[in-house]
A and B are shown apart, each in its own frame.
Chain A
């Protein structure tokens, strides 16, 4: 069974630029999560989708972050414009039920 795929693995941008991350969940998984993991901290949930609907986006900084999940499968997370404090690893995960989530390798973003 293929795992959660994310791209790119690494990205370096200047502040005020925009960036987008892509995630392809495990086939058949209805729930998709985006997490932000700052160095030395636990993952923080940014947004949770159930199929193509948003379940929770209370922690998403909506003035600069946006996410979509077209057709309930792939998802993209965008940051525009980026700030220095957005430097982190962005993790995508998917789940079939009961909250047991499977994670991708993550995208390490460095904002300079």
Chain B
């Protein structure tokens, strides 16, 4: 079945450091890909998405490119802030799976001042 594998954490960084969180997927057909973020004490929020190959999703300085050839959707940010401390989840959904939204295990990111 469709699944997502993301890099294990936790990840601890200093402010202004570069962040990458790896995500790879297995799916039938061409799924839509998402990154969700969960800030401490809050619910899941959509951070960015991409719906077809080579699309780049971006939001709040974060970017991720849908790479069909490597079945990947890695999340990047060039200069993190303390406020980026959160748990990040990679997810996918596909029409062949009735748009069931499947999540990775999550990566906890802590940014230190």
B93 contacts A99, CB within 8 Å? yes
Please, which residues of chain A bring their CB within 8 A of the CB of B92? 99
**Contacting A48 at CB < 8 Å: which of B34, B42, B45, B98?**
B98
B45-89: which residues lie under 8 A (CB-CB) from chain A?
A: 45-46, 49, 51, 89
CB distance from A50 to the nearest CB of B (A): 8
Interface size class, chain B: 20 to 34
Whether a CB of chain B sits under 8 angstroms from the CB of A85 is no
A33 contacts B101, CB within 8 Å? yes
Count residues on chain A whose CB falls below 8 Å from chain B CBs.
26
B89 contacts A43, CB within 8 Å? yes
Chain B: residues with CB nearer than 8 A to chain A?
Answer: 32, 34, 36, 42-46, 49, 51, 89, 92-94, 98-106
Chain A: residues with CB nearer than 8 A to chain B?
Answer: 31, 33, 35, 40-45, 48, 50, 55-56, 91, 93, 95, 97-106
